[in-house]
C-alpha cells in the first residue's frame, strides 16, 4: 500500500475544509487547489461536495486541462457528490453551461432523488471499506449509464453509489461528513499506476 504524501482538494466552493480535515485525520497533507499551478506538487486530487454548476464555472480553463492531463497520466482522483458530477462524461439535468471534466465514462443525473428524499443517511456496504459504513446523501446524483469497466463498489436501493474506473473513484455520498475515514483510506491506497 502506497501512502500519498500530498493530496490536493479542489477548494473553490463546497465542503473542501471537511476533506482537508479528513486527510489530516489520515495523517496526510492536504493542499487546497484553486489554480492550475496548485496541482503541480500534489499526487492525488479530491473533488468535494457542494454545487457542481458553481465549481464548474469557477474553475479556470487551465485548471480543467491540468486535471484532465494529470488524471490521464495516472493521478488518482476521488469525487464526492458534486465531485462525482464533475467527473462524469455526461450530466443529465445539469445547466447548459456546466461542462463536466469527463474523467470517467459514465452519465450521472443531478439531484436524482427528488424533493421528498433529497437528503438522507444510510448504511452502505462495500468490500472496499471492509463492511458497512454510514453514508450521507444530500441532493445526490445517480449513475444512469456507465462503461463496463466502471465498476460498482457499493449500491443503495439498487443504485450504484460508489464506482471506480482505474485510478478514479466517485461516490454519490459524502464520506467527509462522517467521522468514518475508511473511504478516504481506501482512496489513499490507490497508486498512480493503477490506471
Ligand atoms: N446537487 C448538487 C450539484 O448538482 C450536489 C450536491 C452535493 O454535493 N451535496 O452539484
CATH (domain of 67)? 3.40.50.880
**Strand, helix or coil at 174?**
coil
For the question of residue 81 being annotated catalytic, the response is yes
Indicate whether 37 pLDDT > 90.
yes
Domain contains 174:
yes
Q: What is the mean pLDDT of residues 52-73?
A: 97
Question: Which ligand 1 atom sits closest to the C-alpha of 81?
Answer: 8
Q: How far apart are CA 53 and CA 59, in angstroms?
A: 10
Domain contains 70:
yes
Structural domain containing residue 117: 6-188
And the C-alpha cell for 170? Answer: 466517485
What's the pLDDT score for residue 96?
A: 86
Please list the alpha-helical segments (H only) found in the chain.
16-25, 52-58, 61-72, 82-87, 182-188
Domain contains 193:
no
pLDDT band at 1 (very low <50, low <70, confident <90, very high): very low
Q: What is the mean pLDDT of residues 75-103?
A: 95
Give the chain's largest Cα–Cα span.
Answer: 43
Report the percent of the chain where pLDDT is more than 90.
Answer: 90
Of the listed ranges 2-6, 83-87, 91-95, 166-170, the least confidently predicted one is 2-6
What's the pLDDT score for residue 50?
A: 97
Element (DSSP H or E) covering residue 90: strand 88-92
CA of 119 to the centre of ligand 1 (A): 11
45 contacts 9 by C-beta, under 8 angstroms: yes
Question: Domain count of the chain?
Answer: 1
Tell me the pLDDT tens digit for each residue of 144-175: 999 999 999 999 999 999 999 999 999 999 99
Domain contains 194:
no
Q: Which residues line ligand 1 (CB under 6 A)?
A: 49-52, 81-82, 85, 110-111, 138-139
Domain contains 195:
no
Domain contains 122:
yes
Catalytic residue among 18, 81, 156, 184: 81
Domain contains 141:
yes
CA of 2 to the centre of ligand 1 (A): 30
Question: Which ligand 1 atom sits closest to the C-alpha of 110?
Answer: 4
Indicate whether 51 pLDDT > 50.
yes
Q: What is the mean pLDDT of residues 56-84?
A: 97
- Average pLDDT of the chain to the nearest whole number: 94
Identify which of 176, 194, 66, 188 has the alpha carbon closest to the alpha carbon of residue 128: 188
CA of 14 to the centre of ligand 1 (A): 9
Domain contains 23:
yes
Amino acid at each position: 500500500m502506497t501512502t500519498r504524501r500530498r493530496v490536493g482538494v479542489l477548494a473553490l466552493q463546497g465542503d473542501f475544509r471537511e476533506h482537508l480535515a479528513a486527510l489530516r485525520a489520515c495523517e496526510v497533507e492536504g493542499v487546497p487547489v484553486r489554480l492550475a499551478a496548485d496541482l503541480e506538487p500534489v499526487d492525488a486530487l479530491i473533488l468535494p461536495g457542494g454545487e457542481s454548476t458553481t465549481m464548474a464555472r469557477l474553475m479556470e480553463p487551465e485548471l480543467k486541462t491540468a486535471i484532465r492531463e494529470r488524471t490521464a497520466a495516472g493521478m488518482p482522483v476521488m469525487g464526492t457528490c458534486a465531485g462525482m458530477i464533475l467527473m462524469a462524461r455526461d450530466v443529465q439535468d445539469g445547466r447548459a453551461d456546466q461542462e463536466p471534466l469527463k474523467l470517467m465514462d459514465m452519465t450521472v443525473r443531478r439531484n436524482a432523488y427528488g424533493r421528498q428524499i433529497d437528503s438522507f443517511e444510510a448504511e452502505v456496504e462495500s468490500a472496499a471499506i471492509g463492511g458497512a459504513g454510514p453514508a450521507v446523501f444530500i441532493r445526490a446524483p445517480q449513475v444512469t449509464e456507465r462503461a463496463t469497466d466502471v465498476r460498482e463498489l457499493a449500491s443503495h436501493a439498487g443504485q450504484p453509489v460508489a464506482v471506480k474506473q482505474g485510478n478514479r473513484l466517485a461516490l454519490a455520498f459524502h464520506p467527509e461528513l462522517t467521522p468514518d475515514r475508511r473511504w478516504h483510506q481506501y482512496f489513499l491506497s490507490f497508486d498512480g499506476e493503477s490506471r
